[in-house]
A = this chain, B = another copy of it.
């Protein structure tokens, strides 16, 4: 088990990562008033483990899935916190994937202006990314993470025991952020190598600590995403979020992979990176997501991209791969970005960029993915 320190202005945070982390959570919360937030899927698998680890805790089970990450669920959690008589010294334990972490984190931030917060991420995605850094939110009016705040957990306990029950699709979801981090950080990229071990959970768990350490450094430098530095973490995410909001069938991580793929094309065509590096990015995407599906009406993702909180002033802001371990901030006109999105109207082998010129949209029913 590794311990990674994260010193933010809000509070010092410790990430415990590896085997034994869940036992450490149990010990940390022993004798304290705890309120566990989890979802139906996780509870179905781990109800006994939760009851065993936190015998005195109230458990709040919310419906699973991003479409429930909204204000209705948020206030259901808050109402149960009031009913449980929590006070500011009580612990909210976010035990689940990114959706649970985001919502429980926001509830902890808002309840009586802030209770104590512990994250116990149960998915690869949450372990390598969303449980670390203090971002909390719910979606609202078709905007991802539209309403939220920055609220640092006191402790994050990332235990691989939860990964053994993780469906393959959820593993792939975590891969999105791992591949992204490998593009931003040369050493992690080298470890990832040709991607042949991406189905090996033990190997991924090994990488998790590196990804967390990388993210911790970025978050320390730019806690509330105001200095520009933290933006690098949004590599692939402008497109990923737009597709996620438009289609919503696949997981966040899969859309991030597809976003990375399209944005490697944009980077190449706009002269931000060399064709060789763009190809390397696509090769890494392909190791996790070999085929880019065809998205009917993908151009309509533009309206979601324009509502994205990363964007201000009419343009579409992208974080693009620049070179090994380097990124660039780049702004495209809405028209031009829409044209790039339209490239997704047809499927592709992820290792390839599109050779042909952009074409007009096919007769499309937006919101459908072929």
A residues at B contact (CB < 8 Å): 9-10, 71, 75, 78-79, 82, 87-89, 109-114, 135, 137, 140-141, 143, 145-150, 224-226, 307, 309, 311-313
Closest Cβ neighbor of A79 among chain B residues: B141
What distance in Å separates the Cβ of A228 from its nearest Cβ neighbour in chain B? Answer: 12
B147 and A111 form a contact (CB under 8 A) = yes
A110 and B71 form a contact (CB under 8 A) = no
B137 and A113 form a contact (CB under 8 A) = yes
Task: Give complex CA distance A311, B88 in Å.
Answer: 9
What distance in Å separates the Cβ of A75 from its nearest Cβ neighbour in chain B? Answer: 7
Task: Give complex CA distance A183, B88 in Å.
Answer: 27
Task: Give complex CA distance A9, B152 in Å.
Answer: 14
B87 and A146 form a contact (CB under 8 A) = no
Nearest 6 Cβ contacts at the A-B interface: A87-B312, A112-B309, A9-B9, A110-B147, A113-B148, A82-B141
Known pairs A146-B82, A312-B88; A113 contacts B10 (CB<8 A): no
Task: Give complex CA distance A224, B313 in Å.
Answer: 34
Closest Cβ neighbor of A86 among chain B residues: B312
Q: List 7 A-B contacts (CB under 8 A).
A: A82-B307, A87-B311, A87-B312, A88-B226, A112-B145, A113-B145, A114-B150
Closest Cβ neighbor of A138 among chain B residues: B110
Closest Cβ neighbor of A151 among chain B residues: B149
Which of B112, B140, B311 lies in contact with A82, CB distance below 8 A?
B140
What distance in Å separates the Cβ of A162 from its nearest Cβ neighbour in chain B? Answer: 27
Closest Cβ neighbor of A107 among chain B residues: B147
Which of B88, B143, B150 lies in contact with A309, CB distance below 8 A?
B88
